[in-house]
Amino acid sequence: MEGTSRLKIGEINKNLICTLCGGYFVDATTIIECLHSFCRTCVVTYLKTSKTCPTCDTVVHKTRPHQNIRSDLLLQDLVYKLVPGLYKDEMRRRREFYTNHYHAAPKRPGEERGDEMSDRFAYTEEESISLALYLLPDGGAESLSFRRVFSTKEELQSRIERRIKEAVDTRYLQCKAGVKIGLLKKFIRLKYGLPAHYEVEMFHSDEPLRDSNTLCDVAYTYNWRRRAPLALAFCVCETPKAPTKPKSSRLVSQQNSVRGKKDDVEITKENRKIDSEITPKKDDVVKKE
């Protein structure tokens, strides 16, 4: 997960908004002739009186425009992932609508009726995530300073999965999806009373997780579906001590020069003292004359 960067929702907002209603896509539907997308209700209503695309005026179909539109499930999933709370709000509005209009409610339970799906791939930073922290039996994956080079990615992945199955110590937690990996590392330090020269590494797959990643980021990256607790393996590695640097010759020469200057000053003071004792004062010379 190295090299990742966060985008502000405003930077991609124009790609998530329906130009007909001005809101985020709901039941995103795409016109197959030009690939422009809209809310399903919006585009169906629009095509009752027009046969062209609302954005580019491309002819959708000369006689039956509704035949050339398709539900875009991938786009709708992206909207639910990128806009926090949109999925829950939409399901709540559907439940309220069909409660007041029960005769129009779909017969089958599902998202069309406002039923939230337990394996829906959309999370908010405020919801809780079940978490399982695995302490790897032999210290876990090597530290970044000592990691061996594996021949293939599959070899590393299988080794990590094998170690997780062999885990000897597991902690089950329930955390907010917005909790960062760095905070979990601090929790492990306090739990085991680790000294400062020990480093905690945490990972879910084939690479360590960054401290800035949230549990929500990990769930999206590794396609976690709530069917089991989110498994995070961790290991404790001793940080290698930095080698002590010998004093540079420049520093020694500076010390010698300072020492030499002090010696010169002391010699000068001693010479002046001797001169004062040997050389007679002017008053003594006048008296003798």
| pLDDT per residue as tens digits for the range 8-38 | 777 888 889 999 999 999 999 999 999 999 9
> What is the CATH code of the structural domain delimited by 128-238?
3.10.20.90
- Span 70-84, pLDDT tens digits: 999 999 988 988 887
Q: How confident is the model at residue 148 (pLDDT cuts 50, 70, 90)?
A: very low
Residue 270: which pLDDT band, with cuts at 50, 70 and 90? Answer: low
Q: What is the pLDDT of residue 28?
A: 94
CB hemisphere CA count around 100 (13 angstroms): 5
Q: Is 47 a residue whose pLDDT tops 90? A: yes
Calculate what percentage of the chain has a pLDDT beyond 70: 65
Quote the pLDDT of residue 38. 96
The pLDDT value given to residue 143: 36
Which region among 21-30, 50-59, 206-215, 272-281 has the lowest average model confidence (pLDDT)?
A: 272-281
Q: Is the pLDDT of residue 289 over 50?
A: no
How is domain 9-83 classified at the CATH fold level? Herpes Virus-1 (3.30.40)
Most confident of 8-17, 120-129, 266-275: 8-17
- d(Cα 289, Cα 284) in Å, to the nearest integer? 9
Buried b (16+ CB within 10 A) or exposed e, 260-273: eeeeeeeeeeeeee
Give residue-wise pLDDT tens across range 191-214. 888 888 888 888 887 678 999 999
- Quote the pTM value: 0.57
**Residue 145 pLDDT > 50:** no
Q: Where are the domains of the chain?
A: 9-83, 128-238, 249-288
**From CA 125, how far away is CA 83, in angstroms rounded?**
11
In single-letter form, the type of residue at position 168 comes to: V
**pLDDT digits 0-9 by tens, 81-124:** 888 788 888 888 888 888 887 777 776 667 777 767 655 667 77
How far is 145 from 238, CA to CA, in rounded Å? 10
Q: What is the mean pLDDT of the chain?
A: 75
What pLDDT score does 168 carry? 56
Q: Is the pLDDT of residue 187 over 80?
A: yes
Burial of residue 162, with CB atoms counted within 10 A of its CB: 0-12 exposed, 13-18 middle, 19 or more buried: exposed
